[in-house]
Amino acid sequence: MRGLDDTDREILDILLSDGRRPYSDIAEAVDLSPPAVSDRIERLQEQGVVRRFTVDLDRSVLREGVPVLIDLQARPGRAEAVAGALSDADPVERVFTTADERVVVTATVADCDVSGLLGETVETDDIDRYRVDLLDDTAWSPSIGDAEFAPECAECGNTVDTEGETVELDGTHYHLCCSSCRSRFVDRYEEFREGTTS
């Protein structure tokens, strides 16, 4: 399995700044052909490094509500459920979960009705308390830096390095750290699939 090289990082930096940049422009910037850039981006998608291409809206030019930062303290063991529910809500833009069960959200809510947003999206028993701050401005500047490709093994949870394997099952790519994990994972996957279809 290939890791990330400097050219991959350059391509990712370009896509982070403009996800609609033509492959011909990217190719010129990284000294490759457009088909080679296309192949690399496709590989990055298969590896799960690039999940999707999206639009970054400037909500300051849209009239839709009040931008807020919501800092929620979830009850023990409930942060993942709270974050998942909020991620699916239309007014929510970004969701962050901390190790101490806090969920921090940026959202644009109509009439500053945060309690209405929370009441419609999460179980109120899952939240211990929350605080709301009005946002004046936001900036989002993701960067790839010197990051290495290091997904978690779908079977054992170890870090997958360049000697790992990838398998595609029903359109989803899974990363595995070794051939033993790959074999066990594929066997269990097939058993599960057969059990659900019979």
CATH of the domain at 77: 3.30.70.920
The predicted pLDDT at position 1 comes to 65
- 67 with 127, same domain: the answer is yes
Would you state the pLDDT for residue 60?
A: 63
49: phi then psi, degrees, rounded to nearest 5: -70, -45
44 with 103, same domain: the answer is no
Same structural domain, 63 and 121:
yes
Q: What is the pLDDT of residue 61?
A: 67
Is 139 within the bounds of a domain? no
pLDDT at residue 63, rounded to an integer? 62
Predicted pLDDT of residue 198:
56
Task: For 28-62, write each residue's pLDDT tens digit.
Answer: 999 999 999 999 999 888 888 888 887 776 666 66
C-beta of residue 131 within 8 angstroms of C-beta of residue 140: no
pLDDT band at 2 (very low <50, low <70, confident <90, very high): confident
- Asked if 64 and 99 sit in the same domain, the reply is yes
Instruction: Let me know if residue 32 belongs to a domain.
Output: yes
Same domain, 39 and 76: no
Shared domain check, 160 and 96: no
Query: Does 81 score more than 60 pLDDT?
Result: yes
* 114 and 159 share one domain: no
| Domain of 18, in residue numbers | 1-49
Q: 93 and 123 share a domain?
A: yes
89 and 41 together in one domain: no
Residue 72, C-beta contacts closer than 8 angstroms, at least 6 positions apart: 82, 102, 103, 104, 105, 118, 127, 129, 130
Q: What is the pLDDT of residues 84-126, one digit of tens each?
A: 999 999 889 899 999 999 999 999 888 778 888 898 999 989 9
- Please report whether residue 184 resides in a domain: yes
At 133, the pLDDT band (50, 70, 90 cuts) reads very high
CATH number for the domain that contains residue 192: 2.30.170
Position 88 in a domain: yes
Q: In the predicted model, what is the mean pLDDT of the chain?
A: 88
**Average pLDDT for residues 175-190, to the nearest whole number?**
93
Confidence (pLDDT) at 197: 61
> Domain for residue 144, yes or no?
no
Show Cβ contacts of residue 157 under 8 Å, excluding neighbours closer than 6 positions: none
**Helices assigned H by DSSP within the chain:** 6-17, 23-30, 34-46, 79-87, 114-121, 179-197
Is residue 154 in some structural domain? yes
Structural domain includes residue 69: yes
Q: What's the CATH number where 44 sits?
A: 1.10.10.10
Total count of domains within the chain:
3
Q: What percent of the chain has pLDDT over 70?
A: 94
Instruction: Look up residue 149 and give its two tokens.
Output: 């490709």
In a domain, 43, yes or no: yes
Average of pLDDT values for 125-142?
Answer: 86
Q: For residues 81 and 65, which has the higher predicted lDDT (pLDDT)?
A: 81
**Per the structure block, which two tokens stand in for 21?**
């940049």
